[in-house]
Amino acid sequence: MFFGKSVRSEAVQDKAATLLVTQGALVELSLSDARTVVRYMRPRRIPSGAVFIRQGEGDVDDAMLLILEGEATVEQEGMGADDSLIVSVIGPGSLLGEMAILDGEPRSATCIAATDLAVAELPRDGLRKLIKEEPEVSARLLLAVSKRMSERLRETNRKLKSFAQLSRALQQELDATHSINRKLLDAE
């Protein structure tokens, strides 16, 4: 459960529920559904500079996190050991870990706290409890998470298509340059 019954706790829960239904998170959920989901979340503080999700790692305690305060970077590891690319910088209202909470597979990116973070996390056991106790709300949550992942997959497909077109154009340019160089060498 998120917090006790204090006024401060209720204010944080309301903030979390409001952020859960924003464009960066799960806009398809109603505020009432979001309030129900938040009751199964727990607060967590993450200090600036901490790696709180590491690409390739995962375990049974995987959780989905909603950023309440602060910013984090999402990074993809490159080919080398110290080679990484910042994919995005995210802030309040952003969700992380939707895939891992569903499939338990290793994390697909590394997340680092760019500032001190306040997050609400829904651990896998919290999701299971939500499914058991609130099946209708959990069904809507899972549909919203699925829709979000589908949108991200479609965007990734669009980016891959653009990269493929760029790669093809670069290859054509290289082939043309190679052909010209070959003709110049043969002319000598």
Q: What is the pLDDT of residues 37-74, one digit of tens each?
A: 999 999 999 999 999 988 888 765 688 999 999 999 99
Pairwise CA distance, residues 23 & 55, whole Å: 25
Of 123, 117, 140, residue with least CA distance to 58: 123
Question: Which of 21-25, 39-43, 177-181, 183-187 holds the top average pLDDT?
Answer: 39-43
Query: CA 102 to CA 17: how far, in whole Å?
Result: 20
Question: Averaging pLDDT over each range in 23-32, 53-62, 131-140, 156-165, which range is the top one?
Answer: 131-140
Calculate mean pLDDT across residues 174-179.
85
Estimate the crossing angle of helix 31-38 against helix 135-187, to 10 degrees.
90
- The total of other beta-carbon atoms located within 10 Å of residue 66's CB is 27
Residues 6+ positions from 114 with CB-CB distance below 8 Å: 48, 70, 71, 72, 73, 89
Distance CA 54, CA 49 (A): 13
Say if residues 23 and 13 touch (Cβ distance below 8 Å): no
Contact yes or no for 121/42 (Cβ under 8 A): yes
**pLDDT tens per residue across span 83-134:** 778 888 989 988 888 888 888 888 888 899 999 999 999 999 999 999 999 9
